[in-house]
Structure 1
């Protein structure tokens, strides 16, 4: 053979210039449509209450199986799959009454005098955030293994230098989703005075050290097993766990800047724009793309400098979290429609999505900045693309919840609200989201195991799909089992 198997695999998992934005959006639309169908089945038919083995099977097929199909066998015709999701959702929504109306004869929940239980959480659980983060984790776990098989389109794999692809969006979305929920601790301490920088750094290192340790373990295992890897992705030694590990301490540093610029969105834009200026006005981009790898710094330049882009993405995720996580506040009946759109969580999310999308198109337009997207550089267009994509995904999930489960946060007690949230949340996605980093680590371990034991590039479609189904079923099964055992693994 002219090329060994390792070289063939490295070429296969490279998407060169990737795929079009329309192609990516068409495939990714299956995720919110799946959530829509799940929500219609639950709100209209109570399909997942009680949660029987049959309910789990349907839950798994919808929230994992559909995503697997969208990125593999339906990748060339995503609108067929999207139509198959949208039609039954529309049918059941139009032909059935909401389950609340059919259960109106149930006795109301007995009120309690326990003020602790009655006090509503200012940062309640948000099912649409769980669905969004869980579905992003599902597609990430599927893609990291599916990319090693021929059934996964090459255009979805990470690009070399310039362009967009599904997996390029995946790494950015992973960082963005972590930013969305990380702002919770800051929102809890609104009373307040910011803790000293030393205290913030110590607290951040508790989160960073396990991730950095995982980065070292991955580095040693990849080099020791001679695993196929693209050096141009993060560098010779750097990997994604190092990027995740260095985020907490740098975010702690940026909290000091937040006192001067009280907006995570503005901070993220300042950082991304400053980094883009450095790329364009100095020889930094040429150094990252073409320099010789002569020392530890130059060998890992992609991971080191792209970190600034990922830090900006994380801060932008925090800006979305500061809007989406707080309790929705009731508006006076006399409030105008325009004011309601601006003040509701859904309205704010839609405005934010439009804001990021407009900025992204300005950055890549011929009549704007005329820049190209580069995940390798994590430059300004890549930052804006990730923010635009994720903000409208969250907005769609919020709109679905607002229409189909409008009474979640109208409960009078914390316990009642918790029950309503659980009722409106997919168990599979909740379980995957609950132990997200542990699930991601498990997916990485299983991916390595499959690649070391099977000739993935030489397998047919049926064999490939069987392996991928067993793989994602194992990941989801472990997550649901941990949830049933009430186990939360904090890394």
Structure 2
């Protein structure tokens, strides 16, 4: 086991990654799968009921698995294979009937956001096991120091997504930033303590079983669970600052300055410091924490744009709160203005990509490249630009295929508003993706346990592509089957 552990650690080390274009192409498969699913749902199912588990799994999960394995080097081919049948169905079936504007009410989940978060989680779940097999190209594995890859994208997107939904308390009550710090801090510590405990348990299990690990990823004892648990705590501690400096302006630049020789030269510390004490032994995780906090805050800022009915809602609420006028709070239940949200998301996406392009130009580089290891400014911009763009993509697909609730047409040719009132809203995220999103953390824990069991029961590094795909498909079926089995119910773990 020790020899295999050494070989496995060497196999996942010193990776330099792929390109942003390649990673974007692989990720575009997710959008294509949603396009095909939406066409089938609206044109063949007439929006009344979604496909059952097996077709949902085939349409929504298998394309993601294929995109990072068998089709990883030709992802646009897979995207085409999904879009061609979608185009054929569109051409051969009539467009659904007229629509009505969305009804008013309390703030409801945005289907495009549910789809985005579920797909992000599924790619993470699939990636953490797929990376252990040769069928997963090494260029998609986590980079050692600099570079971009699917695995580097996954951890940053996870942080961005969590930051996005953390905007909910601010939207529901703008005074949340001004609330007493200690009660908020105690509440968030209580909520995140189990995740910290999971991080500690993972350290014990990894060290105790000689499980292959990559020390330069986060350090000797640090892991992603610890980073994930600390970010909400740090966000609360920053509330006094966020009252003065908007979330979009906080963190990323400060992190880059701290990494550079003009600041604290933390980049040099990560590269050269010996692992003598607890801090230096975990220097990668500690140093990258500031960058991940910046990504978390950028996600929070994006959440204030996409979660409310209109992207201007939070700005108006914040201004009204300063004037002690709570009259605009009722707008939280207003109909969504997805067109305005899409325009604002597109504007910010162009800004993030443009800034990343400028600071990556020869002569203007602020660092040696994108670095997940230190979570530098280029990494934060890449993660933010990618996630903003793909949320926009899911939102645009929603606007195309699901412009509003469907009115139920009577055989006489008219529309029965009484029957329509009994109908559910036509647009909702695919049921399987809703199930994954609802129980994301329990499923992620299950996936980690299954990944450990697979790696302890076989030498995955030597598995053939056929064997690897069989194991990965079974693994995906088990995780998604559990999600499907408990759909509609939030699983409560005893330690959470």
Q: TM-score, normalised by structure 1?
A: 0.87
1:378 matched to 2:361 = no
- Higher deviation after alignment, 203-212 or 226-235: 203-212
Structure 1, unpaired ranges of 5+: 109-117, 331-339
Distance 1:119-1:137 versus aligned 2 partners, 3 A rule: same
> Post-superposition shift, 1:370?
4.8
> Post-superposition shift, 1:246?
0.5
Contact 2:160 2:296 in 1 (8 A): yes
2: CA distance, partners of 1:142 / 1:234: 21
Secondary structure of the residue that 1:99 maps to in structure 2? coil
Match of 2:132 in 1: 148
1:283 matched to 2:280 = no
2: CA distance, partners of 1:30 / 1:41: 17
2: CA distance, partners of 1:185 / 1:155: 39
> Post-superposition shift, 1:119?
5.8
2: CA distance, partners of 1:325 / 1:49: 26
Q: CA RMSD in A?
A: 2.9
1:85 matched to 2:82 = yes
Structure 2, unpaired ranges of 5+: 313-335, 409-416
Distance 1:278-1:157 versus aligned 2 partners, 3 A rule: same
Match of 1:463 in 2: 467
- Which of residues 283, 299, 304 in structure 2 aligns to 1:317? 299
Contact 1:313 1:383 in 2 (8 A): yes
- Higher deviation after alignment, 459-468 or 189-198: 189-198
Match of 1:327 in 2: 309
- Which of residues 361, 365, 386 in structure 2 aligns to 1:365? 361
- Which of residues 349, 352, 369 in structure 2 aligns to 1:353? 349
Distance 1:272-1:485 versus aligned 2 partners, 3 A rule: closer
1:120 matched to 2:105 = yes
Secondary structure of the residue that 1:248 maps to in structure 2? helix
Runs of at least 4 residues off by over 6 Å: 340-343, 409-413, 415-418
Q: TM-score, normalised by structure 2?
A: 0.87
Q: How many residues align?
A: 459
> Post-superposition shift, 1:97?
2.5
1: CA distance, partners of 2:249 / 2:339: 20
Distance 1:64-1:416 versus aligned 2 partners, 3 A rule: farther
- Which of residues 34, 49, 70 in structure 2 aligns to 1:73? 70
1:266 matched to 2:265 = no
2: CA distance, partners of 1:424 / 1:61: 19
2: CA distance, partners of 1:47 / 1:409: 9
Secondary structure of the residue that 1:483 maps to in structure 2? coil
CA offsets 1:42-86 (integer angstroms, 9 cap, x no match): 12221774356xx32111111110000010011121111010011
Contact 2:46 2:96 in 1 (8 A): no
2: CA distance, partners of 1:140 / 1:227: 20
Match of 1:179 in 2: 163
> Post-superposition shift, 1:367?
4.5
1:33 matched to 2:38 = no
Contact 1:42 1:424 in 2 (8 A): no
Distance 1:98-1:264 versus aligned 2 partners, 3 A rule: farther
Secondary structure of the residue that 2:238 maps to in structure 1? helix
